Amino acid sequence: MSKIVKIALIAVGLISAVLWLMLPDSNMPPAEAAQSGAMNAMFWLTYLLLGIAVVFSLGFALKNMFSNPAGLKKTLFAIGGFALVAIISYVMSSGTDVAPEYMEMSDESTVKKIGMGLYVFFILTAIAVILMIVPSVKKIFSK
């Protein structure tokens, strides 16, 4: 299996090198360069490699998660906690947090979802900072 992977990686590397050499010059207008066959092939190659990486990552993660009951329990608690943070963030978001001239470009539902995303980011950042600071403070005072 290792030889097959190595051969596949060499083939992808060679294809990528050939496509790199076939890319359009920097003088070409961007709109025309974006329609280049080499550029499109590189995008498809990137999508293919990303898809393979995602499938294998999810496969191994799910295999390890279901083979260890304690890990599955922790994972379910983490997913539940994230869902709770998302629900709290959605409730906190008002949907009218932008200037009226920007409301013409999107509806209230979209603004509410963006606000929810920002609140999720802020809450998770605060949790991460607290989880970094609290053990350090405990360590300082325990000595």
Q: Is the pLDDT of residue 53 over 80?
A: yes
* Amino acid identity for residue 20 in this structure: W
Q: Per-residue confidence at 129, pLDDT binned at 50, 70, 90?
A: very high
103 pLDDT band (50/70/90 cuts)? low
When the pLDDT of each residue in the chain is averaged and rounded to a whole number, the result is 87
- Take residue 55 and report the two structure tokens written for it: 């499938």
pLDDT digits (tens, 9 = 90+) for 15-34: 989 988 888 877 888 777 77
11, pLDDT greater than 70? yes
What is the tens place of the pLDDT at every residue in 66-100?
888 888 888 899 999 999 999 999 999 887 766 77
Measured distance CA(70)–CA(78) in Å, rounded? 12
The torsion defined by the Cα of 113, 118, 124 and 126, in degrees rounded to 10, comes to -150
Q: What span, in angstroms and rounded, lies between the C-alpha atoms of 143 and 138?
A: 9
- Tell me which residue has tokens 């974006």: 34
